[in-house]
Structure 1
Amino acid sequence: MARREELTDEQWAILEPLIPETPRRDDGRGRPELHSNRAVMNGILWVLRTGAAWCDLPDRFPSGTTCFRRFSRWVKSGVLRHILEALAQHLEEVGQINLSECFIDGTFVLAKKGAQRFGKTKRGKGTKLMVIADATGLPLGVHTSSASPHEVTLVEATLDEIVTVGRPERIIGDRAYDSDPLDQRLAAKGIELIAPHKSNRKRAVTQDGRALRRYRRRWKIERLFAWLNAFKRVLTRWERCADHYTGFVHLAFSIILMRRYL
């Protein structure tokens, strides 16, 4: 029986076709890889779930150096994003992704060491993790940025990271997203923005009361963040490279999506 942090046979059957084997060099030089993709992925998942350092990997996994190097290669070549994209698009094809209303929110992630894409806030130096979820709370896209910019300025960049073929019909956010210019830009793309008005709004009320009832279901993206927090490596950012941190989030979201497969 597989341990909790390791892939089951059913999970690996889904992931294996999405992970390419490393091609040999044309000149035949270089050592062949000693460890299978499944063994390495199990090691990466152990780090993702526990939040431990690569050097602390138990002996039942390949070495931390081996797992980190392959993880880094998969991030650079887009393998981890491709896995998330393939899983989401399959669920979209079979009708398990609902784009009629989607939720957006951001969370602050404390960044340790020197890092790319991090900034100062009242809570310290960190990264802003922006996430979009579908009507059922499944992850559709993630964008990492410096924690300094306001969330309303990161909405369109987050929309660009959506991995499904279709695009949201409505985006639901909290008061931070109450912005007439953003509302107009999204409307030009065929997306309705739904957000409660800020208490200091000076212009006339623009939010329809009936549409605003959808805001009551915003707890679904809060639940998604709770699911994500089960993967300890994303709770605090230890990666200097922003793409490595995003890669961990892509992998965590892929594991969440696989629950719909099995």
Structure 2
Amino acid sequence: MPLLPASLIEPLWVEFADLIGSERRPEFSPTHPWGCHRRRIPDRVVFEHVLAALVHGSGYERLASPGCSDRTIRRRLDDWARAGVGRETLRQALAGYDQMIGLDLDDLSVDGSITKSPCGGEVSGRSPVDRGKQGTKRSVAGDGNGIPLHLVAARANDHDSPLLEPTLAGVCDMIGPLPDLPGMHLDRGYDSAKTRDLLEVLGYDAHIALKGEPAPIQAGRRWPVERLHAWMNGFGKLRRFTDKRRDIAEFYLNLAAALTVIRRLINRARVLYRWPTRPTTRRLR
């Protein structure tokens, strides 16, 4: 059974390969004194191993193959994370979605989700919902249809409210200017005067659930970001982080978000457009 449908992997690889300059890399390292000491493992091979780690959440030693060792995966992943390739991949995916379908920027929502990180690290802390075990929180901003716009990795014991500003700060950098006075839908964890003042300064129309009142009555347009978290929890690496560095964690978050955007783009475009490799089913797993 394939790791992911080819309709998801191929468009992602095209953008990814362009960002890392895969076609311009020599087969042998020009700086090595022997010149032909060791062939470079193709980026496509390593990319497929990284995707396997993202989807299944397995360790690199388990995913290693005769043609790609776990050390090669770690080295290449380190280079890509330091270069910010994951973030740029998400930016390109959002640009394509906005051009073909259009982002719903009139109603945005932000929420955090806590997952496990048993190995600790820079974005790991005592989880308040898992008996104090190590956990990681991701704060995600989504549009009105649940398309991820920007993601921030933090410790599990970091409160949602202080993460709101860095989460919103990256939205305009990813997609450009927003409409005048877009709606911002938040749960009761953000119900504070500081949050309302921040949203007023940033130019958002705040819709925040009130503490002490039943949430379903005032749920509003917050459900798309909660559905988005459910989509992203389908990736094994996001459910259980084992990498300790922040840039690696954010690389995987952005890569998962890019796959989510591409999946939604194909599902919505298949009823509006025709192309040779158009999938025959909506179910892209």
Output the TM-score relative to the length of structure 1: 0.84
Equivalent-residue separation in structure 2 for 1:50 and 1:140 (angstroms): 24
Which residue identity lines up with residue 140 of structure 1 in the other structure? L
| C-alpha distance after superposition, 1:215-241 (max 9, x if no partner) | 433222121111111110110121111
Tell me which residue corresponds to 2:30.
Answer: 28
Pairing of 1:90-239 with structure 2 (within 5 A): 90-122=96-128, 123=130, 124=132, 125-162=134-171, 163-167=174-178, 169-199=182-212, 215-239=219-243
Equivalent-residue separation in structure 2 for 1:136 and 1:81 (angstroms): 20
Equivalent-residue separation in structure 2 for 1:170 and 1:224 (angstroms): 18
| Counterpart secondary structure, 1:259 | helix
Number of residues of Structure 1 aligned to a counterpart in Structure 2? 247
1:229–1:121 CA distance, 2 compared to 1 (3 A)? closer
1:6–1:60 CA distance, 2 compared to 1 (3 A)? farther
Unaligned runs of 5+ in 2: 267-285
- Identity score, percent: 25
**Which of 220, 240, 244 matches 2:244?**
240
Aligned partners of 1:102 and 1:172 also within 8 Å: yes
| Counterpart secondary structure, 1:148 | coil
Equivalent-residue separation in structure 1 for 2:258 and 2:206 (angstroms): 27
Equivalent-residue separation in structure 2 for 1:89 and 1:260 (angstroms): 13
Deviation at 1:61, TM superposition (A): 5.9
Which residue identity lines up with residue 136 of structure 1 in the other structure? N
Deviation at 1:35, TM superposition (A): 2.5
Which residue identity lines up with residue 74 of structure 1 in the other structure? W
Tell me which residue corresponds to 2:260.
Answer: 256
| C-alpha distance after superposition, 1:145-172 (max 9, x if no partner) | 1222321111001112322213472221
Aligned partners of 1:89 and 1:165 also within 8 Å: no
| Counterpart secondary structure, 2:225 | helix
| C-alpha distance after superposition, 1:176-204 (max 9, x if no partner) | 1112221122112211221111128xxxx
Deviation at 1:14, TM superposition (A): 4.3
Aligned partners of 2:54 and 2:252 also within 8 Å: yes
Deviation at 1:95, TM superposition (A): 4.7
Q: Which consecutive aligned stretches of 4+ in structure 1 deviate over 6 angstroms post-superposition?
A: none
Aligned partners of 2:111 and 2:141 also within 8 Å: yes
Aligned partners of 1:113 and 1:240 also within 8 Å: yes
Deviation at 1:140, TM superposition (A): 0.6
Deviation at 1:132, TM superposition (A): 0.9
Which residue identity lines up with residue 156 of structure 1 in the other structure? E
Aligned partners of 1:44 and 1:68 also within 8 Å: no
Unaligned runs of 5+ in 1: 201-211
After superposing the two structures, state which structure 1 stretch, 216-225 or 228-237, moved more: 216-225
Tell me which residue corresponds to 1:205.
Answer: none
Tell me which residue corresponds to 1:13.
Answer: 14
Aligned partners of 2:141 and 2:149 also within 8 Å: yes
Aligned partners of 1:40 and 1:61 also within 8 Å: no
Task: Report the aligned-residue RMSD.
Answer: 2.5
1:94–1:40 CA distance, 2 compared to 1 (3 A)? same
